[in-house]
A and B are shown apart, each in its own frame.
Chain A
Amino acid sequence: MLKELPPGIWEAARPHGWVLEPDALRLLEAAGVPVARHAFAGGLEEALAAASRIGYPVVAKVVSPAILHKSDVGGVETSIPDPAGLAAAWARLARLEGFRGALVAERLSGLELIVGAKIDEQFGPVILLGLGGTAVEIYRDVVTRLAPLRERDVASMVCCLRGARLLTGYRGCAAVSLPKLTAALLAFSELVTAIAERIDSIDLNPVFCTPERCAVADARIVLAPAP
């Protein structure tokens, strides 16, 4: 069963209508959904310390209640090679609207998937799996299932994707770990079922999958409109 969820997240998110990413990642971790190693830094010193713990290269992302779509405003700095690079990135992020700090995270690689959830008017909570990354809206290769998912739902989701072979192995590309992906989706589905009344939709995009692991690199949780 789902462990106790971290307190205070919903109250903090209510004023802007969505959960800031450090909180979103805390929520996912508490639910057993694997996420990239990360730390929130309110200042550059903290960021540098976090980066040296995590190990370069790192990613830095703006944390601001005014910015829901970070990459649209230059709020994501990928592949920062060293402390000097991090300091420069910090300076750029700090100029963005509503800047509260930055999330410093390990730089993941692998197959980019999108995992999502939405509360459907007719059917209630729904889980989505698709080929992710920034081109997700172009290819629209996604499949949905009603939550809660069972293990066999995950298997059928994978095989229903047009690009299923990208997950199951194709030529030089190794298969991603389907057991890890399944565990992540089942944990996510359990979380979504538990918080269905609070949310409108969730994007985990991308989720990086390799033969060894699956981990969420970016999370966005949009709240249901206040009653």
Chain B
Amino acid sequence: MGPFDFRPLVKPRRIAVAGVSLTNDRHPANVIYNKIRLRYPVPVHAVNPRGGRFLRDPLYASIAEIPETPDLVVIAVRAEAVPAVLAQCIERGAGAAVIVSGGFAESGRPDLQERIAAMAREAHFPFIGPNCLGVYAPGRFDTFFLPGERLVRPDPGGVGFVSQSGGVLVDQMVKFSAQGLGFSLAVSIGNKAVVREIDLLRHFAADPETRVIAFYLEGFGRNEGRAFLEAAQAAGKPVVVLKAGKTDAGRRAVGSHTASLAGDYRVFSDALAQFGIVEAHDEFELTCFCESLSHYPRAVEGRVGVVTASGGHGALATDILSGLGLEVPALSAALQAEIREGLSANVRPIAALGNPVDLTGSSTDEDFLAAVAALGASPEVDCILLLLLPYSPGISADLGARLSEVHRRSGKPLVAYVPHVEKYRILIEGFELNDVPVASSVDGAAFMVEAMRRCRPC
């Protein structure tokens, strides 16, 4: 059987929500129904066996009674009632489901989970869950049973995100939003009874809106890891993984050194490197890596040219980059002379150009443009880290946009650090809207460079 058709799941033209309650407006089904009804541009229908009306809308007694077939059914009924609703979905010819309900393998009912999984597999019917938040498709719909006003909602963007934990997904939405990162689609896969990581990986690999594929993983099933790695390697776009469960608790004692040295996490981490998958060690790295790789999907060796208006920041960045194993190579005398040639008369005698290229607090837009242009054209570095402290009066609000043009001419990855405060927003947007990632800290900027170095098979 071929891969699942995820179109009804990703871009449903009509949604039904099963389990809407007439008595409890905080019921998950009600939260989901209300938010789609009020805030998303997709028709939605409420389903409850009692039928009648919900507010002023019809309440259908079954999926069969909805006049037009829904592409997607969100199922938020008691676990015992899920098989019957799932059967209705399949019978009606719906395209996909999200089973929000808990009460399956996670709470001692693997039998019930296996029953619904078997039904779905036989019908080749994809469902997300059970026991999940489901799908967040910015601007189109979401199935999270959390009120919209309680969520931070990232814009549409280039990251396809799959999380084994709903809580991590919701929290990551906060972090991605703060970084200005958007989702093509985010999925909390819960117990992953039918649709598993690899299915969504293949979907995102083929999806033109997705530029980076990111996972929060706790672990794979037996022998599932290798196929995932091979699919990730074949995806043709960067794949970033944050793995939880790094300590090997309870590994049985066996009689070999290898078994004790090659613990589950060690093997996992090394395997990611072997297949060119970028491992993020925490949520901060995950955010930085996704930001950087959604702009620059290709690998660099990691010879960094650092351009700064502050010697201290240059030194800090160099320490962080070196600690990560990146190189900040001394620039040749010829390149330094070329940079100096382009600097303004005030800055020319005082700038230190060895790398970091310290343009000093007297620098202006023109000095940054000259330095970045020269580094962009030189083979001595393969990416540029810009530490832009917009305190000095010579820096204009247009610098981001102007530098991004220089970067687009050279094609060399450029990452900027600008303090993320509201008053610098126009400068930051000048970079970001022109495809240059901006970090809110020096370490963040260094991680953005590191992401590009890791994005290749080790």
| Chain A interface residues toward B at CB < 8 A | 18, 68-69, 114, 116-118, 120-124, 126, 128, 130, 136-137, 140, 142-146, 152-153, 156, 160, 200-203, 205, 220, 222
B224 within 8 A of A: yes
How many angstroms between the C-alpha atoms of A180 and B260 in the bound complex?
Answer: 27
Interchain Cβ contacts within 8 Å, total number: 102
How many angstroms between the C-alpha atoms of A144 and B261 in the bound complex?
Answer: 9
B167 within 8 A of A: no
With both beta carbons as reference points, the residue of chain A lying nearest to B275 in the complex is identified as: A146
A156 contacts B458, C-beta separation under 8 Å? yes
How many angstroms between the C-alpha atoms of A145 and B267 in the bound complex?
Answer: 7
Question: Which of A69, A146, A200 is close to B226, meaning CB atoms less than 8 Å apart?
Answer: A146
Contacts of B259 in A (CB 8 A): 118, 200-201, 222
7 A–B contact pairs at CB < 8 A? A122-B225, A123-B223, A124-B225, A137-B260, A144-B262, A156-B274, A160-B273
A123 contacts B267, C-beta separation under 8 Å? yes
B257 contacts A205, C-beta separation under 8 Å? yes
How many angstroms between the C-alpha atoms of A44 and B158 in the bound complex?
Answer: 73
One of B24-32, B117-125, B214-222 at the interface: B214-222
Total residues of chain B contacting the partner, CB 8 A? 28
How many angstroms between the C-alpha atoms of A144 and B273 in the bound complex?
Answer: 10
Contacts of A126 in B (CB 8 A): 262, 267, 271
How many angstroms between the C-alpha atoms of A121 and B228 in the bound complex?
Answer: 14
Contacts of B255 in A (CB 8 A): 18, 68-69, 220, 222
Using known A-B contacts A122-B221, A123-B226, A200-B254, determine if residue A140 contacts B267 with beta carbons closer than 8 Å: no
B264 contacts A136, C-beta separation under 8 Å? no
What is the 8 Å Cβ interface bit string for chain B, positions 245-273, against chain A (1 contact, 0 not)?
A: 00000000011111111101011101101
How many angstroms between the C-alpha atoms of A118 and B262 in the bound complex?
Answer: 8
The 10 closest A-B pairs by CB, nearest first: A116-B258, A122-B225, A123-B225, A201-B256, A144-B270, A122-B220, A201-B259, A203-B256, A201-B258, A142-B261
How many angstroms between the C-alpha atoms of A137 and B223 in the bound complex?
Answer: 27
A213 to chain B, nearest CB (A): 22
With both beta carbons as reference points, the residue of chain B lying nearest to A152 in the complex is identified as: B457
How many angstroms between the C-alpha atoms of A214 and B223 in the bound complex?
Answer: 32
A155 to chain B, nearest CB (A): 10
Extra 9 A-B pairs, beta carbons < 8 Å, given A128-B262, A156-B273, A200-B256: A118-B262, A118-B267, A123-B223, A123-B267, A123-B271, A128-B258, A130-B261, A201-B254, A201-B258
B229 within 8 A of A: yes
Q: Which residues 201-236 in B have Cβ within 8 Å of A in the complex?
A: 219-226, 229
How many angstroms between the C-alpha atoms of A218 and B413 in the bound complex?
Answer: 49
A163 to chain B, nearest CB (A): 14
With both beta carbons as reference points, the residue of chain A lying nearest to B458 in the complex is identified as: A156
How many angstroms between the C-alpha atoms of A195 and B260 in the bound complex?
Answer: 20
Question: Which of A68, A114, A122, A124 is close to B258, meaning CB atoms less than 8 Å apart?
Answer: A114
B254 contacts A122, C-beta separation under 8 Å? no
Contacts of A222 in B (CB 8 A): 254-256, 259
How many angstroms between the C-alpha atoms of A69 and B253 in the bound complex?
Answer: 14
With both beta carbons as reference points, the residue of chain B lying nearest to A114 in the complex is identified as: B257
With both beta carbons as reference points, the residue of chain B lying nearest to A115 in the complex is identified as: B258
With both beta carbons as reference points, the residue of chain A lying nearest to B269 in the complex is identified as: A144
How many angstroms between the C-alpha atoms of A217 and B268 in the bound complex?
Answer: 29
How many angstroms between the C-alpha atoms of A120 and B271 in the bound complex?
Answer: 11
Contacts of B220 in A (CB 8 A): 122-123
With both beta carbons as reference points, the residue of chain B lying nearest to A136 in the complex is identified as: B257
A202 contacts B271, C-beta separation under 8 Å? no
Question: Which of B224, B256, B267, B273 is close to A202, meaning CB atoms less than 8 Å apart?
Answer: B256
B266 contacts A118, C-beta separation under 8 Å? no
B302 to chain A, nearest CB (A): 14
